Amino acid sequence: MVSKTFKHPAYGKSFPFRYLLIFSLIITLFSAKTAEGQRSEIGFLFGGSYYIGDLNPSRQFAMTRMAAGGLYRFNINENLALRVNGIWGNVAGDDDIVQYNTNRNLHFRSNIFELSLQGEVNFLMFTPGDLDTPSTPYIFAGGGIFRFNPQAEIDGTWYNLRPLRTEGQESPYSTTSHNFLFGIGYKFNITRQFTGAFEWGLRRTGTDYLDDISTTYPDAAVFEGNPIALELYDRSLENRGQNAGFQRGNPNVNDWYAFAGITLTIRIKDLNLQRCPAYN
């Protein structure tokens, strides 16, 4: 059976149709509860994404790239909500730019496609569309799955790193992984229909290969007959090709990525004809 895919127009990367289908089914299941009241919101998010890992161990917001996506929120009450995210982002790291280990001289970029579920806790009483509850700070936590595909560049051409097995792996690592997410935000009612928010969320991933870097340099003989892999596995400014057995990355800490930006949601109309006019 042929797996359906779609391609992002800017990058041409294929992404399995089944993830879109799962996201759509979750949205449908949550939307079925709108007859209980106008608790549901649907909207979009826009902002930036960045990465923390072997090429950038600690600098928040370094090399931030564009991110965008959609969300569905079900408000349980004035203090609790559940939310589904479908997000596309791009992350990157570069030793020359971050200046953490300039002699290593490695870099990467990767698209990220995430599907996640999170719970939100409002610090203040807040009802979307109710101007008597104008705003509240909130925290959130949850988890999800994501796809990634690290690439590196030679003379203007970008190459997928996973098939090259740049650390001499016997088998390539998976480009699908899970994450645990958490963060903070501030949401506010704009009108009786629209709600906005600013938020920042971190993702601890289940992989150390988001950047294609984890363990040690292999022996150059591993890449005999593969000039692209031979060029990209070791780009050290000093002793290039002579670092077999030395640390290339830190295998003890998995990679992270983050999204920060704004959200805009609209309340989904209640299908109940006996809904309260004052609330609507």
Q: Are 206 and 73 in contact (CB under 8 A)?
A: no
The per-residue pLDDT for range 175-209, each reduced to its tens digit, is 999 999 999 999 999 999 999 999 999 999 999 99
- Short-list 210, 208, 216, CA closest to 104: 216
- Spell out the domains of the chain, with CATH numbers in brackets: 40-154+171-204+256-267 (2.40.160.20)
Compute the distance between CA of residue 89 and CA of residue 50 in angstroms, rounded to an integer: 8
Quote the tokens at residue 208.
């150390």
pTM of the model: 0.82
* Count of residues making up the chain: 280
Q: Are 77 and 35 in contact (CB under 8 A)?
A: no
Q: Express as a percent the part of the chain with pLDDT over 90.
A: 81
Q: Are 268 and 27 in contact (CB under 8 A)?
A: no
Compute the distance between CA of residue 95 and CA of residue 55 in angstroms, rounded to an integer: 6
The per-residue pLDDT for range 95-142, each reduced to its tens digit, is 999 999 999 999 999 999 999 999 999 999 999 999 999 999 999 999
